[in-house]
Chains A and B, each alone.
Chain A
Amino acid sequence: MKFFTPFRKKSPWILHYNAGSCNGCDIEILAALGPKFDLERFGVINTGNPKQSDIFLVTGPVTYRSRERLVELYTQIPEPKVVVAVGSCTTTGGVFRGMYNVEDGIDRYIPVDVYIPGCASSPQLIIDALVKAGEILESKSKAIEKPFKLFGAIETIGNKLSRLNMAKKVHDDED
Chain B
Amino acid sequence: MKKTIQIPLGSQHISLLEPIRFKFECENEKIIGVDADVGFVHRGVELACTRSFEFKQVGYVVARVCGLCAITHSLSYTLAVEKLLGYVANDRIKYLRMLMVELDRIHSHMLCLAHTAENAGFEALFMQIMGDRELVMEVQEAISGNRVQFDYISIGGVNRDLTSELVDLVRKNLTTLSEKMEILTGLFDNNWSLSLKYKGVGVLTLEDAYTYNALGPLARASGLATDVRAETSDFPYEALGYTMMLESTGDIHARNFVRLREIVNSIAICRNIVDNLPMGEIQEKVKGKPKGEEIVRIEAPRGELFYLVRGNGTNTLERVRIKTPTFSGIPAMMEVFKGSQYADAPAILASFDPCMSCTAK
Measured CB to CB, the residues of A under 8 A from B are: 17-28, 30-31, 33-36, 46-50, 60-61, 63-66, 69, 73, 89, 94-96, 98-102, 119-120, 122-123
Contacts and interface: CB of A to CB of B under 8 A. Distances in A.
Contacts of B355: 23
A26 B127 CA distance: 16
B149 A119 contact: yes
Interface stretch (B60-68, B153-161, B170-178, B281-289): B60-68
B164 to A, nearest CB: 26
Contacts of B19: 17-19, 66, 69
B300 to A, nearest CB: 13
Contacts of B48: 96, 98-100
Interface residues of B, number: 43
A120 B127 contact: no
B147 A35 contact: no
B43 A48 contact: no
B149 to A, nearest CB: 5
Contacts of A17: 12, 19
A66 B133 CA distance: 31
Given A22-B357, A94-B64, A99-B52, 20 more contacts: A18-B41, A19-B41, A21-B357, A22-B67, A24-B67, A25-B67, A34-B127, A34-B130, A34-B133, A35-B127, A48-B13, A66-B11, A66-B19, A69-B40, A95-B60, A96-B43, A96-B45, A96-B64, A101-B43, A122-B147
B47 interface: yes
A175 to B, nearest CB: 56
B56 interface: no
Contact of B130 (A21, A22, A35): A35
A155 B289 CA distance: 70
